[in-house]
Chain A
């Protein structure tokens, strides 16, 4: 079986005049069945990597393979992607958005979406533009987590939601994820998610500076990932 994600010498430079590569010869292999945290300061290349995985950017050089395939229609079927910004049509109602996703993705589970909307007390009949920023984020995450994907790529999934909903979302991630799926999530809220991660990736100026399991870090450094991050990236 191919690894779910493989990057070889992956490089992205946004323009010929830019001073540095946004992503600089990145080599990375992710196996199935893990929850992986993608961590790094602002501008370290996290979102660039995520966009390359999702075929929203074309590499300057190097390759990215998802289950052995180049990004494209086939890989979008097996990746469930939560973008960093709102991608939902503001004039649509929540329930229409659910049907839209259901029509679009054959691995979308409507029942699961309905259950999560109920749990978070989101009214299916509201139009998206009437919802708060946090609630919109929740709806978007529900849509993404309701798919049975092989790879979930979540760009800042818990940034704008309140702590109680954050707990529910982490719980949702733990409940819905199956043993063969991999979740790659970027965040700055390390402390909140540390316990659910298998592995963390630290990025700095487009490079991978650490790829290690959470318990390895705790065992060797006697520190939490959060403390380690603050130390490595001290300003």
Chain B
């Protein structure tokens, strides 16, 4: 199944986001090897050069590192992984707040609504 990609933003940025997401969600575990560029490109149905660029950028940020001949691995740096998780959470919440404001909700209302619904969640 090709990855879901939006039309209005560079593809490599979206690939980076997807891989970050997959690292945080545990699909790719810390210290484990990432699939090859070609495999990932086929999986996402994108150009291998674009996937290469996304991985190089992730490497630059330190989230993945390459072992000279054997491929790319996920970092084992707990602090970095926790920070990434936090960043992703903040992004989601900001988006959520933005949408709620469009619907005309104030901060207080949003918070009480969340608490109400949190009780119903199992």
Indicate if the CB atoms of A219 and B10 lie closer than 8 Å: yes
Main secondary structure of the interface of A (DSSP, over half): helix
Q: Which residues of B contact A196 (CB under 8 A)?
A: 45-47
Q: Is B36 an interface residue (CB 8 A)?
A: no
User: What chain B residues lie within 8 Å of A65 (beta carbons)?
Assistant: none
Q: How many residues of A are in contact with the other chain, CB < 8 A? A: 22
Asked if A189 CB lies within 8 Å of chain B CBs, one says no
Number of A-B contacts (CB under 8 A): 50
Residues of A within 8 A of B45 (CB): 167, 170-171, 174, 195-196
Known pairs A171-B42, A175-B42; A218 contacts B8 (CB<8 A): yes
Q: CA–CA, A219 to B12, complex, Å?
A: 10
Please tell me if the beta carbons of A215 and B42 are within 8 angstroms of each other in the complex. Answer: no
Query: Is B8 a contact partner of A198 (Cβ separation < 8 A)?
Result: no
CB closest residue in chain B, given A33 = B49
Q: Does B50 contact A (CB under 8 A)?
A: yes
Least Cβ–Cβ distance between B17 and chain A, in angstroms? 14
Interface residue ranges of B6-61 to A (CB < 8 Å) = 7-12, 41-42, 44-50, 53
Q: For B49, what are the chain A residues with a Cβ–Cβ distance below 8 Å?
A: 33-34, 198
**A167 CA to B2 CA in the complex, in Å?**
10
B110 an interface residue at 8 Å Cβ cutoff? Answer: no
Q: Mark A169-190, 1 if CB is under 8 A from B, else 0.
A: 0110011000100000000000
Which B residues are in CB contact (< 8 Å) with A171?
Answer: 42, 45
Query: What residues on A are CB-neighbors of B84 within 8 Å?
Result: none
**Neighbouring A residues of B11 by C-beta, 8 Å:** 195, 214-215, 218
Closest to B44 in A: A195
Instruction: Verify if B81 is at the interface (C-beta below 8 Å from A).
Output: no
| Closest A residue by C-beta to B15 | A195
B5, CB-defined interface residue at 8 Å: yes
Q: How far is the CA of A197 from the CA of B10 in the complex (A)?
A: 12
User: Given A171-B42, A174-B41, A174-B42 in contact, is the A198-B47 Cβ separation under 8 Å?
Assistant: yes
A227 partner residues in chain B, CB cutoff 8 A: 7
**Residue of chain B at shortest CB distance from A224:** B7
Of the candidates B8, B12, B44, B50, the one whose C-beta lies within 8 Å of that of A224 is: B8
New A-B contacts (16) at CB < 8 Å, excluding given A174-B42, A174-B47, A218-B8: A174-B48, A175-B42, A195-B2, A195-B44, A195-B45, A195-B50, A196-B46, A196-B47, A198-B47, A198-B50, A214-B11, A215-B53, A218-B10, A219-B10, A224-B7, A227-B7
B interface vs A, CB < 8 Å?
A: 2, 5, 7-12, 41-42, 44-50, 53
Which A residues have a C-beta under 8 Å from some C-beta of B? 33-35, 167, 170-171, 174-175, 179, 195-198, 214-215, 218-219, 222-224, 226-227
Pick the 9 closest A-B CB pairs, nearest first. Answer: A224-B7, A215-B10, A218-B10, A195-B46, A196-B47, A219-B10, A222-B8, A198-B49, A198-B47
